[in-house]
Amino acid sequence: MPAPHRNVADVEAKESKLSFETALGKLETIVESMESGDVPLAELLAKFEEGSKLLKICEARLKDAELKIEQLKRLKDGKPALEKFETARDE
């Protein structure tokens, strides 16, 4: 029985929900395997593509954290002013 076909949109949606730590760990694993020099070219290209997606996820998580910190820094009457924090993922 053949393996079920994985919908690209489903895979991308699942990846977009990865935590920063999980995405970074996967990215580090990919980089280590690519640096080993034992990866065939076709697999190397696939790993590069996956690594690029994971890098974007990591960058988005860091940007979200930076925005959250900036919001918490804003003071209102001497107390942190908490505001609704929306990210691109909330849409």
Structural domains of the chain, count: 1
- pLDDT recorded at residue 68: 85
Amino acid at position 45, single letter? L
Is the Cβ–Cβ distance between 56 and 70 less than 8 Å?
no
Who wins on pLDDT, 39 or 28? Answer: 28
The tens digit of pLDDT for each residue in 38-91 reads 889 999 999 999 999 999 999 999 999 998 888 777 765 556 666 666 666 654
Establish if 3 belongs to a structural domain: no
Establish if 43 belongs to a structural domain: yes
Establish if 13 belongs to a structural domain: yes
Is the Cβ–Cβ distance between 67 and 89 less than 8 Å?
no
Residue 54: domain span: 8-90
How far is it, in rounded angstroms, from Cα 23 to Cα 57?
A: 7
pTM of the predicted model as reported, rounded to 2 decimal places = 0.64
Is the Cβ–Cβ distance between 24 and 58 less than 8 Å?
yes
The tens digit of pLDDT for each residue in 4-24 reads 555 545 545 566 689 999 999
